[in-house]
Structure 1
């Protein structure tokens, strides 16, 4: 995490804890702002697209399009989480990802 800005690191941590059981969440900046950091005025919804690019460039997450919307996959999800009660995600996996 030392390779990203403080804003990006903060957003990543908050997105991680708000991901579903498969490590996915919506990729819409409005939804990310509302869900992950509603009370952080230093991270605006306008900042989020560039912060996502910064995190994706470091291999921490993948932003991808589904048939209905944009979604995010946290790439280290199964390295940290243990499969105990994983419910299916409302978002399909990104290409090449195995749940």
Structure 2
């Protein structure tokens, strides 16, 4: 069963849309129909022209360039948002959630808009779905480049302010204070443990050498002082 798509009643009473030409409004209507269930679409005037205008090409004489102009006018007028992710261009309806409610929507295979869909962007940024991974990886590499050139393999999960700092600044920055039960030991505790281990090892070595003297290359068996004067019972 196809999902229901409809224009809201206020569409024809909109002051913003009233400033656009009728062909631009028709292109916008087609965008609502052919966008995915999150109101997104790749920026492709050719495809949108084929979906909306091909049957009226001899009547209205609307070209692909005209559709591109319609999209630009809709972006300027505030109906659409043109955004770029991973080197690709996308469009989405800014007021989609306000006017379109779809039961059991199909998850979008296009990346969200960081500006208008912040929560979805944060979730998408950490996801690993194969449908959008190519754009995500390209965008992450682009952000690393903007944050100061080459970055380490884990820099994409760090704050931008951390990535942009120099290595010496990061080394001199304050280390996180984590509880010992999580496996983190501070420098002072670590040094004490190292000294204790070295002392224990050295003391054991001294005791071994003093109590176990070698005679003729053979090692004499060690006997505790408490056992030296003990009489052997028959």
TM-score normalised by length of structure 1: 0.86
2: CA distance, partners of 1:69 / 1:36: 22
Q: More deviation in 9-18 or 77-86?
A: 77-86
TM-score normalised by length of structure 2: 0.39
Q: Return the structure number with greater relative CO, CA threshold 8 A, min gap 6.
A: 1
Residue in structure 1 matched with residue 182 of structure 2 by the alignment: none
Q: 1:90 aligns with which of 109, 115, 127?
A: 109
2: CA distance, partners of 1:88 / 1:65: 20
Residue in structure 2 matched with residue 5 of structure 1 by the alignment: 21
In the alignment, structure 2 segments of 5+ residues that lack a partner are: 1-16, 121-234
User: Counterparts of 1:37-56 in structure 2 under 5 Å?
Assistant: 37-41=53-57, 42=60, 43-56=62-75
Instruction: Pick the structure with more helix per residue.
Output: 2
Residue in structure 1 matched with residue 204 of structure 2 by the alignment: none
Q: More deviation in 74-83 or 13-22?
A: 74-83
Q: Deviations over 1:23-73 (max 9, x none)?
A: 011211112112333223132111122111111111100112222522110
2: CA distance, partners of 1:85 / 1:48: 31
Q: Secondary structure at the match of 2:109?
A: coil
Q: 2:78 aligns with which of 49, 52, 59?
A: 59
Q: 1:30 aligns with which of 37, 40, 46?
A: 46
- Aligned residue-pair number: 99
Dislocated runs of 4+, deviation >6 Å: none
Q: Deviations over 1:64-96 (max 9, x none)?
A: 222252211011111111252122212111122
Residue in structure 2 matched with residue 78 of structure 1 by the alignment: 97
Q: More deviation in 8-17 or 78-87?
A: 78-87
Change (3 A) 1:66 1:95: same
C-alpha contact 1:14 1:37 (8 A) present in aligned 2:
no
Structural RMSD (CA): 1.6
Change (3 A) 1:58 1:71: same
